[in-house]
A and B are shown apart, each in its own frame.
Chain A
Amino acid sequence: AQRVTQPEKLLSVFKGAPVELKCNYSYSGSPELFWYVQYSRQRLQLLLRHISRESIKGFTADLNKGETSFHLKKPFAQEEDSAMYYCALRHSGNTGKLIFGQGTTLQVKP
């Protein structure tokens, strides 16, 4: 079964500290993975996708097929990064539906 696991419900760091939000997936095939973010009082929005290999707002995520992971990283956290982060896997049936992890709340303290 296709599944996305985010083991941490809450991650709390100080401003300037490195951040790593963990995501592991279960999938047979070539996965398409995404990170979505929901800032306070805003709607859920795409942060980045693995096929783009881009860095958005200082965040990067590398797909590691050996470890079936897609961890989200940022070297120096900012207070404005505080939000809820969801890792998502695109379903193999090509319906476009996304399977989401449980989400991790990132709290960046001043």
Chain B
Amino acid sequence: NAGVMQNPRHLVRRRGQEARLRCSPMKGHSHVYWYRQLPEEGLKFMVYLQKENIIDESGMPKERFSAEFPKEGPSILRIQQVVRGDSAAYFCASSTRDRENTGELFFGEGSRLTVL
């Protein structure tokens, strides 16, 4: 089991461009979480998804940010019209189905977005 895979590991964008970050959960995991880590800050929850459903997006900025987890393929965090303040490390985590969920999240290595 390769673990949670995120790509790209590093992404550089100019202001106004779009950033797409991908996350493939661990095999057998149907829950995906996205977290953001700004410089000198801790991990902030953004969104929680199950296949084809957004369960909790209470941490997502109201504009420019969106997330999906389609039936097939990875989860995608999309940031439109990026600004310098979006520069951060974005972490994806996955977990198992509810009845097996011990609360443990398995994290990817993160995608570091730099906005010039």
Contacts and interface: CB of A to CB of B under 8 A. Distances in A.
Contacts of B33: 96-98
B104 A46 contact: yes
Contacts of B42: 6, 86, 100-103
A99 B103 contact: no
How many chain B residues sit at the interface, stated as a range, is 20 to 34
Interface of B: 3-4, 31, 33, 35, 41-45, 48, 55-56, 91, 93, 95, 98, 101-110
Given A86-B42, A86-B43, A94-B98, 6 more contacts: A6-B42, A44-B93, A95-B55, A97-B33, A98-B45, A100-B45
Give the 7 A-B CB pairs with smallest separation, nearest first. Answer: A102-B42, A100-B43, A44-B107, A103-B42, A90-B103, A43-B107, A46-B104
